[in-house]
Amino acid sequence: MALPVSLEIYQKLVSASVRTGFRQEIWEIGAAAIREWLSRHNPESFQMPSLSGYQWKNVFLPDGTLLRTIFNGRNFHCRVEGDAIIYNGEKVSPCGFVNAAGGVRRNAWKSTWILFPNSSVWKSAESLRTKKKSRKPAT
């Protein structure tokens, strides 16, 4: 199968190939250029990071993030929808979620697991939290 190109493009391609010491055949360079073009023009490659989500202190939970807590051996889940965390159809905070699921006062940082969109690994909320470093008093 032939793929026509302009004489100008062909000459530039040959010139670039000569400068690189003919490490690749012209057709290989052309194929790489076409693959790059296809990648750049693939609608899926234009995905912007989620602009909506829930800001939990210093941890951003993008739209579609799942939260899980465990109480009495049962898993409870909720989801970030838009800019809110929704549990049983109600907007809640992470603390509100774990306490509604557990019925007692619990530390959400210690009892919440997070599954980000496009991930298959649950992470503990506590592991995502960055703690302020304590300053040593001046002596």
Using 50, 70 and 90 to split pLDDT, how confident is the model at 131?
A: low
Per-residue b/e over 10-39, b at no fewer than 16 CB within 10 Å? Answer: eeebeeebeeeeeeeeeeebbeeeeeeeee
* pLDDT surpasses 90 at 2: no
Structure tokens, 113: 């697991």
Listed by start position, the domains of the chain span: 8-46, 53-126
pLDDT recorded at residue 15:
82
Angle at 129 between CA 125 and CA 111, to 5 degrees: 25
* pLDDT surpasses 80 at 44: no
d(CA 59, CA 124): 12
Structure tokens, 100: 């509604």
On average, the pLDDT of the chain sits at 85
- In terms of Cβ atoms closer than 10 Å to its own Cβ (0-12, 13-18, 19+), residue 106 is middle
* pLDDT surpasses 60 at 56: yes
pLDDT recorded at residue 76:
95
DSSP annotation of 137: P
Angle between helices 26-40 and 7-19 (to 10 degrees): 110
Phi (first) and psi of residue 32, to 5 degrees: -65, -40
| Of the listed ranges 13-22, 63-72, 82-91, 96-105, the one predicted with least confidence | 13-22
d(CA 112, CA 68): 6
